Amino acid sequence: MSKVVDNFLKYIAFDTQSAEDAASVPSTEKQFALAKLLVEQLKALGVKDVSMSEHCYVYGTIPATAETDCPVVGFLAHMDTSPDFSDENTRPQLIQNYNGGDIILNKNLGIKMSPEVFPALKNYVGKDLITTDGTSLLGGDDKAGIAEIMTMAEYFMAHPEIPHGTIKIAFTPDEEVGHGVDFFDVPGWGADVAYTVDGGAFGEMEYETFNAASMSVTIHGQNIHPGSAKGKMKNAILIGLEFQSMLPEAEKPQYTEMYEGFYHLNGISGNVEETVLKYIVRDHDKEIFESRKAMGHTIADFLNKKYGEGTVVVETSDTYYNMAEKIRPHMYLMDIAAEAFKELGVDTPNVRPVRGGTDGSRLSYMGLPCPNLCTGDHNAHGKYEFVCIQSMEQTVELLIRIAEKFKDVKKA
């Protein structure tokens, strides 16, 4: 078993699911258990300045082995897994030399993963995969990234003869709930630029993300006994459904791709008296993003004229912005990664927009330009998640080569 796989299997044994709407960072105390293991591993490797903050951020430094005035490069991955699906009692399955057919995840439950439904599987015939057993997510998002960074660190610490500049390492909590860098110490960490290792198939890299906001719609109704409700009842549930019907039908996540934004209704609760709809709003284009948020208020104005002032209350809150604006002045980060990919057989990396966000989205606006690299993970946030072992091994080599190349970059 390769070292990166060994690390990965250790990490996914930890339940690190984060929680929405928590008042603290980390949102779940259980994330500290994995953080403590990572601290122990880094110290055992001889990594310097290893620490864990009160908010569960793990930091470390691989000292320079060459005299060079190059930028300090950092690599980050997040410890938490999505609240969308359980990561408790993860039982990974090893599929060696995948034959291209259906993968039985759980025979007793009748759960299988088919290349007809998940065509990315067709790219891994003859490769080795790690899947779930159909009862949890796998945790490759982003424990694959953690395993790859840790394995890179082990390589450099074991080979001090290899010349490189200072390399920074960090592992963060709560990325999945949008709070992954709330307390990240950018100045104290000391990196000039960084990469998140939080992507998909080997060969992919990204420097564009959505602009993102949450939108909460509260409907204040008026409940009357249905037997005498004529002309008096104001059904908050039905008004909520009316609000949803006024959003563009084609701009739901299931109908969009690439640079197309969306409105996503991801929660609804309430009764006749009061109903709350929870949305996430996304777009790559900042101007269109602003118009999407304005649309919610426009619909509210219309419904308030129809049903009475104060019936519909819309609140929006920005979550993160498209990091492309902050990375474009530092496109050498993408060029270095592209050179490393080419050396590993990927002549043209797949540069595509992230249809979501990464810790790098906010870090880039905190003064740390931070594009995103692949991990080899697929189908995150659900029971069909899998990673390709060969892709993980290649990603370790990718990180090593990127870090080595920085010694030849002149610090601005």
Q: Which amino acid is at 70?
A: C
Give first-to-last CA distance, the chain, whole Å.
Answer: 42
Q: Is 204 a catalytic residue?
A: no
141 is in an annotated binding site: yes
Question: Which of 144, 171, 80 lies closest to 394 in space, CA to CA?
Answer: 144
* Dist CA 162 CA 348 (whole Å): 27
Give phi and psi for 171, each to the nearest 5: -125, 130
CB 90 within 8 A of CB 81: no
Distance of CA 369 to the CA centre of its chain: 17
Distance of CA 401 to the CA centre of its chain: 24
Q: Which amino acid is at 10?
A: K
| Active-site entry in 15, 133, 175, 377 | 175
CA angle 174, 130, 107 (to 5 degrees): 110
Q: Is 80 a catalytic residue?
A: yes
> Residue 278 forms beta bridges with which residues?
216, 267
198 is in an annotated binding site: yes
CB 66 within 8 A of CB 167: no
176 is in an annotated binding site: yes
> Residue 196 forms beta bridges with which residues?
76, 372
* Dist CA 100 CA 77 (whole Å): 30
CB 171 within 8 A of CB 58: yes
| Active-site entry in 80, 128, 142, 204 | 80
142 is in an annotated binding site: no
**Helix H segments across 159-266?**
186-189, 236-245
**Helix H segments across 13-139?**
31-45
* Dist CA 277 CA 220 (whole Å): 12
Three-state DSSP state, 137: coil
* Dist CA 45 CA 155 (whole Å): 9
With 0-12 CB in 10 A as exposed, 13-18 as middle and 19+ as buried, what is 371? buried
> Residue 193 forms beta bridges with which residues?
73
Q: Which residues are annotated as a binding site for Zn(2+)?
A: 78, 141, 176, 198, 381
Q: Which residues are annotated as a binding site?
A: 78, 141, 176, 198, 381
- Positions marked catalytic: 80, 175
